Structure 1
Amino acid sequence: MAKSLFIAEKPSVAREFANALKVNGRSVDGYIESENAVVTWCVGHLVTMSYPEVYDMKYKRWSLETLPFLPKEWKYQVIDSVKKQFGIVSGLLNRADVDTIYVCTDSGREGEYIYRLVAQMAGVQGKRQKRVWIDSQTEEEILRGIREAKDLSEYDHLADSAYLRAKEDYLMGINFSRALTLKYGPSVSNYMRSSDRTVISVGRVMTCVLGMVVRREREIREFVKTPFYRVIGTFGPAGISIDGEWRAVEGSRYYGTPCLYKENGFKERKDAEALIAWLWERENGSENSGVMQSEISDAEKADAGLMGVYNTSQGTILKVEKKKETKNPPLLYNLAELQNDCSKMFKISPDQTLKVVQELYERKLVTYPRTDARVLSTAVAKEISKNIGGLTHYEPLAAFASEAMQAGLWKNIAKTRYVNDKQITDHYAIIPTGQGLGALRSLPELNRKIYQVIVRRFLSIFYPAAVYQKYAVEIEVKSEHFFAGFKVLKEAGYLKVAEIPKKKKDTAGESVGRTNRLEPGIDGNDAENPAREADGTDSSQPKVIDASHPEFIQMLEQLKKGMKVSLDDLQIKEGETSPPKRYSSGSMILAMENAGQLIEDEELRAQIKGSGIGTSATRAEILKKLFNIKYMALNEKTQVITPTYLGELIYEVVHTSMKQLLNPELTASWEKGLTYVAEGSITPDEYMQKLERFVIGRTYNAVHMGNAYGLRPAFDAVAVFYQNAEKEKKSSRSAKSAGNMKAARATKAGTK
């Protein structure tokens, strides 16, 4: 009797397929078999590309004479540690009673590559091969994937791109790493006073990431802080204080003058003091002019008979603008967005996030994690009520799921921006399946937290937008103008489900309640703002007010043009510009995903739109490798990334010899090329010819450059920023001694 063979990527996935197919037959070492089906599995990669010495023993010894290495016919071999499982799988693939093979490896480029290599090494012939493409591991989805499986040949273009990606990383890794190690490794070793050979690891993606981190670090070093002084006026309509920020708009005595820092501050404190003194002056020229009101107590003013003098300062409301603002729920999570948020919320690395969400996927709790899409497909949108319905049994958010179900908020989701088939390549966004909730209890707390984050983002798209009432107030004192902006949350909309409750006290709210006064600016703390103040506020954003301040909100509603308000105080707020932020592990993942934004050339930026550096499946692993080989350092508590001393020296080597590898233009354009191959827009031969020309040219230039000794000044310039350079040299020597062989073999196998 003919049987069907189902081959999964991992044992755990194979068990899910066996359960869905009701394969309850005998469980043998390496596979499960019933009367009409066999389920087996890989253990990740079973086959890999052969080392150069397999082609010819002359390549075993690293030598400039044997570069570039460009195989004409590619060789592959079974990985030693999994030979037993490969033998089992190979035997099953070629069994006489197996007539149909269902390929159930992960639905993506890497999963395709894993199976194709196995089938190639096993010499599969004369079998029907069908591709199962699923988005979650629920029984329903598995059975749908099997039912709708397409002929494997329909994925040949995807397989072509997978093979080319591996060849690209292999050729660049071997040729560039060998060339730079042989040419510049001794210079790095000598400079670091290391007796060990320095292996310089270079890769299409990892070297570009190193370049981004080093350039950011140097921007920070070269940044010169600029102090500035803002003037804040406190105005008192109806007994409730408003703080307004002074700006030198047209009509101001300071408009267009060189003493300004932008329009809302001064470069020197004395100018801010002069403005305050002038604003306090009485129109008839008081002898007390120039004295700040805040410097004299009410008692002192009363004793001196000066209360009338100081309380005559007034302002006039020139403008009050009121308008509504809506804020829509954000798009759903893809892997990069989830990794970024988890890095900020839980201070974990992208690799940790991927491991957690992968486990959630394998427990049937969420859909496929390695996705770049942030939207749903039309087909999924039609069935989305099943996901929501399942979440009515998820206690932390059951009330919101029930509300969404009862109100039918999901019925029109297909007409919104959250559903777009054109923005989906392999998989739609990460969403909860609504199933597998029983497994949550046995999972670690971190896994449960990340699951809740995904659920909140998912449920929020079925809720209406948040609605704010915005107020913009402009007050004139003499010829000078003060501005204040406020936002009042009128309708929470999706925010009631999307926002994770905070345990920490809202200090901004406490301040408002205590002083009954609101300052201009700030909805959050944006450290990217180039003119961020020392106290962390950002005056460019309106202050958000909640319903706990009804008196203040009522006062805002009553403000009218022409209304007189008292000027109660003037203060100087000192700030300083801040340098760019270092990348965190999460923000680096986003920067890799959106590499096109780093490209200045508009035409190239448009050309590679949608392609970043690396893929959702590989970015976390690339960062992990850079940390492991000591080119970059990760602060575990803050998740902030910095280059190491060794990493900066390697940067200088690459900058001198293969500068293109440090730039996102090159890396992203290669990734875009792979996308074209997967789409069938260009042929594998066209791509390979371009790749070989590039490898030949870059390798030749690196080998024939006579600049190894010219690196010393660049190394010296780096060393001054590492006070503990000697300690790091010792640490690097120790690390290299333990890991050089491993790094060398990894380089042989090709570096990403």
Structure 2
Amino acid sequence: MTLQVYSISRPTKKGYIEGRGCAVTWAFGHLVTLQEPGEYDPALKRWSLDTLPFVPEEFKLKLISNRGVAEQFHIIRTLFDQAEEIVCATDAGREGELIFRYILALCKAEEKPIRRLWLNSLTSDAIEAAFKDLRDGHDYDPLYAAARCRSESDWIVGLNATRYYTVRHGRIGGGKDRVLWTIGRVQTPVLAMIVERDDAILQFRPQPFWELSTRYREVIFKYSGKRFENEEKAQVLLEKLTDQPFTITAIRAKKKKEQPPQLFDLTTLQRELNKLHGISAADTLTATQSLYEAKLVTYPRTDSRYLSEDMKPRIPKILEQLGTLRPEQIAPLDLKKLSFTNRIINDKKVTDHHAIIPTGVIPRRFGTNEQLVYDAITTQFIAAFYPVCLKNITTVDGTSNKIKFEAKGTQIVHPGWTALFPQKTKAAEDGQTLPDFTKDESGPHAPFLREGKTMPPKHFSENSLLGAMEAAGKLVEDDILREALKERGIGTPATRAAIIETLLRRNYIRREKKQLRCTDMGRCLIALIRDPLLKSPEMTGEWEEKLKQIERNELAPDDFMDGIGNYIRNMIHTSNTGQLDNRRWGNCPLCGKDIIKGKRAYGCSAWNDGCTFVLEPNYKETTLSPKQIQILLQQCILPNPVRIDDEPRILILSTLGVPMDLRLPSADRQKHQAKTDR
């Protein structure tokens, strides 16, 4: 962030640059944040349901408590005091505006004249043009209003929901220790995605299937219809092929052009490094930031994959400089006649920053991650100007006894840009090679059945999770909200890695090699949250749509914030209605029917229909009281049981709020009935 301050005459000092009657100073990203509840009222330091929800009438600001922040803020405030005019040169977007305005407010300099430098590109020409077109800073008041509403609403929902669930559910059954349940508008839906995926895998039951194929002239032809779920039906078709000739009925050749890859934004870069090298999103961001600070690559925290028009003149020079590092890759390019397609240059799709590219500065030494990241960015940049990859895709149709088959083969005619990615070229060539077939040729063949089983969905990796966060709008049914999420998804390129690391640090998820899996803690938190909006990308979609309306002056900020206050009040009120019902024991977690009390244990009232749920009051040398049984059945046993090895597994919140599981034996009906003494 850069703040330009005019009309100052003093020696250059630490924290700013001075010259020609002006000074340039900077922040370290966010210097200012919102105060905590205890800073409004010391009584609010104690977490209590009685003080919820807490929605300040007016939000107050404070400095972030990081090293060097206070010193730099003092420099900025001194310069503000002396300045006749202030020029804001922060990122051209919502968060950049918020950083500047919060500093301006805490410095009590809001009455000073302000102007806005709006930059999407950092070329000399772009900077010079932007300075010639400085706008009144207050033209961007609606942008600031939207940014402030986002900041304050995140504070309201996150703080109140975190306090509520921690106080209400963090110490179940009177335990001494308390579990901190943290809730966030982005963090919680991301956790819900992982929990839902892991539960789908646990509950997945592989289904057998049979595929009909035949071998003709050493080429495998696959049956053109659907695969079979019944072996007998597949066998009937197989028998029809016995001793029948195979005839080629059609040969279709199609040329395919595969376009060069687009440049990297941060999320795509993180996904690529995780897929190829298993590097975490956070480590990729750290490495890219290090390269940026060494002036080797452009600004990393971008969600754009395009360059602006004014960057065209710089590109040949960058490629020429990279020629000393990659002479064989640069040599095929005619630097005087580069192909600038709209997949590379598009002013309309450059957001706060353009795509990540190398600067042309020649590096000296790297750490391991920095080397991998730099190589990926450089190769992607060079490949963007390479020719398309040309392929011939041949499809051969055949029949035997009127049963249709098909075989496909791919041939690389010209590798084009894929020559820079050997693994992609190899993958394209791994398919079967087709000999020269002739229409109507016929001969013997060898039909066969292959038995397989359906596969469960895969656990999230950081690669696939980042993709899911970026495409979260696809999970939203409402067309307007889905459109609002289309450009941003949930989280931002700068925050998605931190969200994943936060979930790991709080033990809601864990890493298993490249996989991200939910822990029992994470699964419990999602089960505890009854409000579906807290667990869904829809909340972000609703906010994003309204924040855009605020930016366009179509919605009053106060109306938006009133809606947020009403939402959090309703959420807490609705959640509070779930008190113990002393008239009943609870619902069966397996089938949902009422629990009844037997002579020795508690069980499902639908036992006669085959439900096997039984709960004995004796557990690990402890006998649970009737009241504890009610708490357990009504508040601690979580819904949606998973099944492992065909046995139901019920997730439980223990008296400390720490999850455990209870494996229910798949006993026969007689043992079940004898055990409960019904």
Same fold per superposition (TM over 0.5):
yes
TM alignment of 1:168-187, pairs within 5 A: 168-187=153-172
* Cα distance change, pair 423–39 in 1 and its aligned pair in 2 (3 A): closer
Structure 1: distance between partners of 2:216 and 2:53? 74
TM-aligned CA distance change 1:57 to 1:427, over 3 Å = same
Shift of 1:35: 6.3
User: Aligned equivalents of 1:603 and 1:74: distance in 2?
Assistant: 30
Shift of 1:347: 0.8
Q: 1:138–1:364: 8 Å Cα contact kept in structure 2?
A: no
How far apart, CA to CA, are the structure 1 residues paired with 2:335 and 2:47?
68
**Residue 355 to residue 110, structure 1, CA distance change in 2 (3 Å):** farther
Letter in 2 for 1:51: E
Further displaced range: 144-153 or 330-339: 144-153
* SS of residue matched to 2:214: strand
CA contact (8 A) 2:481 2:545 kept: no
> Hey, what's the Cα distance between the residues in 2 that align with 1:70 and 1:718?
39
Alignment partner, residue 429 of structure 1: 355
**Alpha-carbon distance in structure 2 between the residues aligned to 1:480 and 1:272:** 12
**Alignment of 1:130 onto 2:107:** no
**Alpha-carbon distance between aligned partners in 2 of 1:719 and 1:222, rounded to the nearest angstrom:** 6
Equivalence map 1:143-542=2 (5 Å): 146=131, 148-187=133-172, 195-236=176-217, 241-248=218-225, 263-265=226-228, 267-268=230-231, 272=234, 275-281=237-243, 314-377=245-308, 379-380=309-310, 383-394=311-322, 395-406=324-335, 408-410=337-339, 413=341, 416-433=342-359, 435=360, 437-438=361-362, 440-497=363-420, 499=421, 501-502=422-423
Percent identical among aligned pairs is: 31
Number of equivalenced pairs: 601
8 A Cα contact 2:266 2:301, kept in partner:
yes
What is the TM-score when the length of structure 2 is the normalising length? 0.80
**SS in structure 2 of the partner of residue 586 of structure 1:** helix
Could you tell me which amino acid in structure 2 is paired with residue 8 of structure 1? T
Query: Which of residues 645, 650, 675 in structure 1 aligns to 2:525?
Result: 650
Aligned to 1:694: 567
1:88 alignment partner AA: I
Q: How far apart, in 1, do the equivalents of 2:307 and 2:245 lie?
A: 57
**Would you say the 8 A contact 2:186–2:491 is kept in 1?**
yes
| Runs of 5+ consecutive residues of structure 1 not aligned to the other structure | 1-6, 10-16, 249-262, 282-312, 509-522, 525-542, 546-551, 734-752
2:491 to 592, 614, 618: 614
- Structure 1 residues 402-427: Cα deviation after superposition (integer angstroms, max 9, x where no partner): 543346133x53xx344444434323
Gap change, CA 1:136 and 1:422, over 3 Å in 2? closer
Residue 88 of structure 1 corresponds to which residue in structure 2? 75
**DSSP 3-state at the match of 2:164:** helix
CA-to-aligned-CA distance 1:224-282 (integer Å, 9 cap, x gap) = 1112222332212xxxx21111344xxxxxxxxxxxxxx234533x655565455334x
More helix by share: 1
The alignment partner of 2:372 has SS state of helix
C-alpha distance in 1 between matches for 2:650 and 2:12: 58
Whole-Å separation in 2 of the counterparts to 1:175 and 1:125: 30
Q: Residue type of the partner of 2:461?
A: S
Contact kept? 1:232, 1:572, Cα under 8 Å: yes
Distance 1:408 1:662 in 2: 51
Given that 2:418 and 2:425 are in contact with CA atoms closer than 8 Å, whether structure 1 keeps it comes out as no
Q: Which residue of 2 aligns with 1:580?
A: 457
Give the Å deviation of 1:142.
5.5
Pairwise CA RMSD of aligned residues?
3.6
Quick one: structure 1 residues 351 and 56, their matched pair in 2 at CA, closer, same or farther if it must change by over 3 Å? Answer: same
Q: Distance in 2 between matches of 1:505 and 1:367?
A: 29
**Partner SS state of residue 319, structure 1:** strand
Structure 2 distance, partners of 1:705, 1:465, is 61
What secondary structure is seen at the aligned counterpart in 2 of 1:94?
Answer: helix
Offset of residue 653 of structure 1: 0.8
Greater relative contact order (Cα < 8 A, sep 6+): 1
Report the Cα offset of residue 353 of structure 1: 1.8
Deviations 1:614-640 (A, max 9, x none): 2222222122111111111123x31x1
| Whole-Å separation in 1 of the counterparts to 2:199 and 2:407 | 37
From 650, 666, 670, the equivalent of 2:539 is: 666
Give, in whole Å, the separation in 2 of the partners of 1:724 and 1:218.
12
Instruction: Determine if contact 1:136/1:368 at 8 Å carries over to the other structure.
Output: no
Native 8 Å contact 2:120 2:350 kept in 1: no
Contiguous gaps of at least 5 residues in structure 2: 581-630, 660-678
User: TM-score, normalized by length of structure 1?
Assistant: 0.72
Q: CA deviation at 1:719?
A: 11
Distance 1:665 1:724, change over 3 A: closer
- 2-structure distance, mates of 1:618, 1:409: 35
Amino acid at match of 1:573: R
Q: What code does the residue aligned with 2:213 have? A: I
1:58 aligns with 2:43: yes
What CA deviation, in whole Å up to 9, does each residue of 1:431-485 have, x standing for no partner? Answer: 333x3x23x2223232232223223333333333322212111222233332101
Alpha-carbon distance, 1:368 to partner: 2.8
- Give me the whole-angstrom Cα distance separating, in 1, the residues matched to 2:388 and 2:552: 37
Which residue number corresponds to residue 502 of structure 2?
Answer: 625
- Find the aligned partners of 1:130 and 1:612 in 2 and give their Cα distance: 31
Query: 1:89 is aligned with what amino acid?
Result: I
